[in-house]
Structure 1
């Protein structure tokens, strides 16, 4: 810090120094400006990228997944240079929503998209993205959807147990406008003007495989062609940083749909002892190397419930940075269980990366469920339903108690005994 000079002869006392500083309206704590030589490169701030923010834990650059509640569970968002693996639900009804949220957030934030699929045309996927909700009508839209989704019993205001009141609330609806993360209306499609103004690249495997001429290797032809396509986009458009972009820096969002399915030429879903079982692992290993050295983030959906060899699932999880599993209640006994009557499935946070840190930012709540409303896909904490009626049969109470044992310590600890939990 620069010291304040005192007037007069001799050495001034601290009191005279403060008096002189206050008299001349000068403080000893002054903001350091650029060097006199004019070289201010050491003091210039880093150029910010639209749709990103640094992590408060490790300083890693984050992008939004398109679902603010999911960003909160992942420690603020998806880190740039990492892979997010989504384990598809059994009937593949809810995992495409997270995939579309990620792509829609990229269009709204002005990021470059790379959509790869072996089943659907990437242009058709973009046409089905949800429409963003403007800040002016945001609160009104969510209030209307929440009111229509509630049953007459849930509209009645009641006092809940104190242990649930102390739990932090999930961010399920917007409270103010924010530049990081947006909200979307699933009942509407994204405007065509936003798609035309965005920059995106599509990889449709049936169109690429016909013109493919590669040498025999351990990777399937579809994986080789996709890696070459991603590498060319990263290098040609300067996302790797080796050739600095002349324009403002941007983020590349990569979305790969149903990776590992038979449509990609992989047979890990068909037999337990497949010939090219290491092909998928090598693809993920090379993909992570490309992401680590570039301004890009990737989301992959994979039908892990179809993979016969469970050891392959463990290896795929180890080669991914973040792993999220979706478990749908459709076709299971939980669909008719009264404990899960307000939800459509469970969401499992299986793995969170440790970036620039020895520990990962793990959420305190393990019991998470999701439900699909008319306009919103929401993630909530799984709570036990209140039992306020004296006419509930003993068999239903026993079913609730048995179901509560399946939950983690957040909901099932107090219901672990034979006695049913009453509020």
Structure 2
């Protein structure tokens, strides 16, 4: 079967899953999923409730979340949350990484926070030290809604219990033993990774055409795809391999009950030939992280409460002509011990405290004998 035929069939399967029916049967209830209120698409949580809220409720089944990060620190933390959420709701996992062993990555998966039930409330009780005109603006709701909890909070200071991880099926891939080769790719690791994903989908009965007794979801985490270890000797070969891989990988996901999160180091690509834009087009949801570490914004008082900016570059548009639109595009993130929070970026007040105001008032009237009354 050619790649074009596989791509067309995969898009048709995605429409069937998006509409809620497969071969005339309704989609089964799967733990850790919920139907979207916007288009009835089956969703899973990213592991970050505030991110779920921003992108429209969660990640659609059969979709790709692309996280662009310059240094990869925060993107890899989000990847850990993605896998931790899957382990907590008994989803199967597929972890692929070349620069870090998947076993090492798995050992650093955070444990669920004990106060997750109380952590759903946003910090509205604290006095907001912002300008009066922004006090009534709605913040990004970082809490799951409804009677069923969808998305959890995780404590980065604690690692998940190994017994809990062992209860779920986790497939690891590090690219050391290449078993599959082809002339279509210059870097054979791409071929072997695609083959491993395909075998995992087939053996686990995650394909739409399969009829297992109990449906489950496969979460695929690809760490630092496109880094130095993925590059070919020639820059043109690297770009061609990346595009071919995304096309084939997307076709596999569209035909299965799986969802993928990919972290991509954009600092290695100048995007002169629009490679990054083409990869963003192939992905379904694209998030860009702009860290303040080492930049001039780190010392800017406007950003003192945050660790970086979040750019929502693309939101998935399955089964709809009007995709979800975030309440605000001016978003910032901050990493806490038990939360990765995404909030609307507010401008700080022009005057920070009352003492400063009093000093300014005195300064304004210092040249007059009556400082409390303005004379014209």
Q: CA deviation at 1:316?
A: 0.7
Q: How far apart are 1:171 and its partner, in Å?
A: 2.7
Which segment is superposed worse, 357-366 or 290-299?
357-366
Query: Does 1:264 find its partner at 2:230?
Result: yes
Residue 278 (1) aligns with residue 243 (2) = no
Q: Secondary structure at the match of 1:305?
A: helix
Q: Determine the structure 2 residue equivalent to 1:302.
A: 264
1:391 to 2:372 alignment: no
Larger relative contact order (Cα-Cα within 8 Å, sequence gap ≥ 6): 2
> Following superposition of structure 1 onto structure 2, how do residues 30-45 of structure 1 map, counting pairs within 5 Å?
none
* Pairwise CA distance, 1:123: 1.6
- Residue 295 (structure 2) pairs with residue 332 (structure 1): yes
1:253 aligns with 2:219: yes
Do residues 161 (structure 1) and 125 (structure 2) align? no
Residues 203 and 179 of structure 1: CA distance in aligned 2, closer, same or farther (over 3 Å): same
Which residues in structure 2 correspond to 1:5-24 (within 5 Å)? none
Quote the Cα distance in structure 2 between the aligned partners of 1:332 and 1:62: 36
In structure 1, C-alpha distance between the alignment counterparts of 2:126 and 2:317, rounded to whole Å: 42
State the partner residue of 2:172: 202
Retained in 2: the 8 A contact 1:78–1:297? yes
Partner residue, 1:287: 249
Distance 1:43 1:129 in 2: 39
Residue correspondence of structure 1 range 88-237 to structure 2 within 5 A? 88=69, 90-134=70-114, 137-138=115-116, 161-165=132-136, 167-172=137-142, 178-206=148-176, 208-209=177-178, 212=179, 214-237=181-204
Q: State how many pairs are aligned.
A: 334
Matched, 1:321 2:284: yes
Which sections of structure 2, spanning at least 5 residues, go unmatched? 1-22, 361-376
Aligned to 1:47: 28
Are the counterparts in 1 of residues 290 and 309 from structure 2 also a CA contact under 8 Å?
Answer: yes
CA 1:45–1:158: 2 relative to 1, 3 Å: same
Distance in 2 (CA, whole Å) between partners of 1:312 and 1:334 is: 28
Give the corresponding residue for 2:314: 351
Two-structure CA RMSD over aligned residues (Å): 2.8
Structure-2 change in CA distance of 1:391 and 1:103 (3 Å): same
Deviation by residue 1:335-364 (Cα, 9 ceiling, x = unmatched): 111111111100000001211111210102
CA distance in 1, matches of 2:66, 2:57: 17
* 1:46-78 deviations in Å (ceiling 9; x for gaps): 420000001111111000000000000110000
Which deviations, in whole Å up to 9, do the C-alpha atoms of 1:11-46 show, x marking residues without a partner? xxxxxxxxxxxxxxxxxxxxxxxxxxxxxxx99964
> If the length of structure 1 is used for normalisation, what is the TM-score?
0.73
For the Cα contact (< 8 Å) 1:368–1:379, is it kept in 2? yes
